[in-house]
Each structure stands twice: as C-alpha cells, then as structure tokens.
Amino acid sequence: MDINQPVPGTEEASRHAARASTSAYLRLEQVVKRFGSTAAVDQVSLDIPQGAFATLLGLSGCGKTTLLRLIAGFHDPDGGAIYLDEPCVSPVAARNSRGLSCKVV
C-alpha cells in the first residue's frame, strides 16, 4: 500500500477521487512546510490544468517562494502531497527527477 494514498472509504479518499477525476497537471493537496515553529506554507491545496498560466500573488513573506521551491523539489513538504502529471512527487527521493525548468520572462 502506498503511504501517500488515502485509506479507502474515508472522506479524504472521496476528496482524492474527486480531484483525480479532474484534468489537473499540477495538484497540491494540503501541503505544509514549517521552519521551526513558523508555518511558511499551511495546508495549501490547488489544481492547475495542463497548459494553464498561473501566478502566485501575495505579500512579502507569505510563502510564494517556499511553495515554488516545494513544487520544484528544493524542499520536502512536512505534510500533504504534490502531484505532477498524476504521480505523487513528494517526498522527493531524487531531486532532479521532475524535469522542471525556469525561465525569466
């Protein structure tokens, strides 16, 4: 049994199944990242379809960069799950396995 998968028959499993039926390319489910006692990212969930253009907006220190670093694999989440084109990529075993790149536009 995959420890990242919810227990069948639970409310979490129902939410997971509902999200899995969408065409999200990038899916974050209740992602948490803490640095000491500070929650830099606190239970963030979002779905971004393939080909969509998405931005993160917020005040300085609200967790935008930390969230991007979690998605890219530079940090491991303390909770939740990150899915990239369906496979769960958190926690990350091999940091470069995601094949992501960044461009300045």
Q: Can you list the positions of beta strands (E) in 11-78?
A: 24-35, 38-49
- Does residue 2 form part of some domain? no
Count of domains forming the chain: 1
Bridge-based pairing state of the strands 79-84 and 38-49: unpaired
39 found inside a domain: yes
Cα separation, 37 vs 27, in Å, equals 26
3: left (phi over 0), alpha (psi -120 to 50) or beta: alpha
| Residue 74 located in a structural domain | yes
Residue 34 lies in a domain: yes
Per-residue pLDDT of the chain (105 residues), as tens digits, is: 445 566 767 777 666 665 555 567 899 999 999 999 999 999 999 999 988 889 999 999 999 999 999 998 899 999 999 988 876 766 544 344 555 554 444
Q: Domain range holding 49?
A: 11-84
Residue 1 lies in a domain: no
- Lookup: tokens for 84: 């990239």
Q: Tell me if 60 is assigned to some domain.
A: yes
- DSSP element (H, E) containing 80: strand 79-84
